[in-house]
Structure 1
Amino acid sequence: MLSGLPSFILMPFAFILFCFNLAFSGTFVFLGGLLKFLIPIKAFHHMLYRPMHTFYRLWAYNNTLIIKLVNPVQWEVIGAEHLSKDAWYLMLANHQSWLDILVIAELARQHTPEPKFFLKESLKKVPFLGMACWALDMPFMKRYSKAFIEKHPHLKGQDIETTKRSCQSFQSNPTSIINFVEGTRITKTKHQTQQSPFNYLLKPKAGGIAFTLATLGEHFDKILNVTLIYPDNRGHIMKDMLKGRLTKIVVHVEQIEVTDALIGDYFADEAFKDNFQLWLNEQWQAKDALIQQLYHQNAQESVVNSQLNQHGSV
């Protein structure tokens, strides 16, 4: 455990370890993507799937080791007991910090298929990044605006069909799609600017989730409502982690059935859009209450532990 080191030493050391881990795993993923590009044979691509995702899992595993190496951190995962690496999931998560990505990756490494992010199709053209994401079968999304469809009605539905084609590998390989529903990390400024009705969350954005369900709804076994909190670290969570000050990570997972009522044309069907937004807001209200409950439980546990420590030192 290195958390006792001064932060001016620990912070750059931890950052270098994370960068080295990303460079190591990323190099092999990029080389795999290059092979996929040079040898456009589906059978060969299928052979590469497992080794490419082994490096993905190795990246997640090493990140967790680094976090534990530099922090006296306790992980508490609730509700993940019956998840399966052979199932298809849509993960909906709140977003507090860049650390959320590493935590989600570790959750997936132990309990679900590797998490994938829907990416804009334009990212395919970004050097190295586009190749690596394509190598890992990240789905690329092409979406037309309502105004564009009105001008080009013959393209209606083509955005979903294009996205479905980019997700063909999901039909044979179990997958988890992650969506940070708020669209950005929460800060006090963003919370105030939005005038969010929630205590611990920003307003949820429904369009991306609805589009994902319209594209892949028939493949998902469950929706996973994932709640992330760092009860002893609020504000600069990633910086606290790099400084060795992260003490607890709480991950709560709720499984939700995928029903026909959640699959529809969000951008053209106003009735469906209203119902979907209502459903998502209800999920977010429940998540906000859960976060308050988790914070309260952690505060009570801290008081009890403090009393026990004082009693033991007498």
Structure 2
Amino acid sequence: MPATLSSTPRIAVSATLIALNTVVHATPLLLLAVIKFLVPIAGFRRFISRVLVLIAESWIAVNSWLMQYLAGTDIRVHGLEKLQRRGWYLVICNHQSWVDIPVLQQVFNRRIPFLKFFLKSQLIWVPVLGLAWWALDFPFMKRYSREQLEKHPEWRGKDVEATRKACEKYRELPVSVMNFVEGTRFTEAKHDRQKSPYRHLLHPRAGGIAFVLDAMGDMLNAVVDVTVFYPSGRPDVLDLLAGHIRQVEVSIRTIPIPPELLGGDYENDESFRRRFQDWLNDLWARKDAKLELAGTQGPIAQVQEPDRL
């Protein structure tokens, strides 16, 4: 569904409106972020954090309205009824396009806590965005390489412990931690290069969510497993701005966190690591089978995952 020259005016209008919406919301957000940084009073910072989330949710709501009414995109969702506004969730999803992000934001905005991503600690120094992410309480994690740990074995476990401390604020402020476990968007070239065993997915990477569960496992209520499907094929952002994406299907499953996946040492315990990877690979195989059936049977909400693979 490539954008054509005739789509240019519509793309320009859509991009301009999104840019204006971003300026309108980013200005007070950044001003409050500076105030939060300068006033190190815990109660005051918690209040500012709630206001900042309200601003971010408003920004998403306007963008979602533009996507729905200006672009004419129909997002069909199944499985939201089991989720709640005040909950603690780990959200995982297949990653097909940059369009996935505004789709997920529209689906979950004001229905579950604001989606947040674990970020590398170095990203806090990114101009403007680093301050905004910090102000919105995105968790920054410090990871050590194998080489660093070999030189400094006393650092082992410090990354998880530091993240646990950073996430203590979430005991008072519910959160949804978002993770695209494939680590990158799907393309046929990446699929072939990986020799992925799945038809519609790349290899899932277990380390990231193992880290989240290790740091936050006692807080989280459930894993929210999301499958995004584009019946007309994988789009890009220009397709969205041009109004070429007529329909998106989103299937949501709420999965209890298996007790055997909590409290283990993913990096150093080979048995635990294999058990964790087996769980995620099985989940991914079921997702792949669901996408395969959706391509022939659709809609994805009516496709039942197989009991056995």
TM-score by length of 1: 0.90
Between the two proteins, the alignment pairs up a number of residues equal to 296
SS at match of 2:82: coil
Residues 248-287 of structure 1 aligned to structure 2 (within 5 Å): 248-263=247-262, 264-287=264-287
C-alpha contact (below 8 Å) 1:124/1:131 kept by paired residues: yes
Post-superposition offset of 1:243: 1.1
CA distance in structure 2 between the aligned counterparts of 1:299 and 1:106, rounded to whole angstroms: 19
Question: Taking every aligned residue pair, what percent have the same amino acid on both sides?
Answer: 39
CA distance in structure 2 between the aligned counterparts of 1:200 and 1:78, rounded to whole angstroms: 20
Deviation track 1:123-178 (CA, whole Å, cap 9, x = no partner) reads: 11111111000110000011112332222121111111111122122110110000
Aligned partner letter, 1:175: V
CA distance in structure 2 between the aligned counterparts of 1:246 and 1:284, rounded to whole angstroms: 25
C-alpha contact (below 8 Å) 1:225/1:255 kept by paired residues: yes
Deviation track 1:228-271 (CA, whole Å, cap 9, x = no partner) reads: 11112x24332211111111111111111113211221111111
Q: Which residue of 2 aligns with 1:75?
A: 75
C-alpha contact (below 8 Å) 2:99/2:235 kept by paired residues: no
Which moves more between the two structures, 52-61 or 144-153? 144-153
C-alpha contact (below 8 Å) 2:235/2:245 kept by paired residues: no
Q: Which residue of 2 aligns with 1:310?
A: none
Runs of at least 4 residues of structure 1 off by over 4 A? none
Deviation track 1:6-51 (CA, whole Å, cap 9, x = no partner) reads: 4010112111222222222222221121011111100111111221
Post-superposition offset of 1:73: 2.2
Aligned partner letter, 1:179: N
Aligned partner letter, 1:73: T
CA distance in structure 2 between the aligned counterparts of 1:144 and 1:205, rounded to whole angstroms: 17
2:182 is the alignment partner of 1:176: no
CA distance in structure 2 between the aligned counterparts of 1:88 and 1:154, rounded to whole angstroms: 32
| Alignment root-mean-square deviation, CA | 1.8
Post-superposition offset of 1:299: 7.5
Q: Which residue of 2 aligns with 1:303?
A: none
Aligned partner letter, 2:64: T
Which runs of no fewer than 5 residues in structure 2 stay unpaired? 301-309
C-alpha contact (below 8 Å) 1:36/1:135 kept by paired residues: yes
Post-superposition offset of 1:181: 0.5
Q: Which residue of 2 aligns with 1:34?
A: 34
Q: Which residue of 1 aligns with 2:103?
A: 103
CA distance in structure 2 between the aligned counterparts of 1:228 and 1:37, rounded to whole angstroms: 37
Residues 1-314 of structure 1 aligned to structure 2 (within 5 Å): 6-232=6-232, 234-263=233-262, 264-298=264-298
SS at match of 2:185: coil
SS at match of 1:167: helix
CA distance in structure 2 between the aligned counterparts of 1:171 and 1:32, rounded to whole angstroms: 23
CA distance in structure 2 between the aligned counterparts of 1:268 and 1:244, rounded to whole angstroms: 48
Which runs of no fewer than 5 residues in structure 1 stay unpaired? 301-314
Which moves more between the two structures, 88-97 or 46-55? 46-55
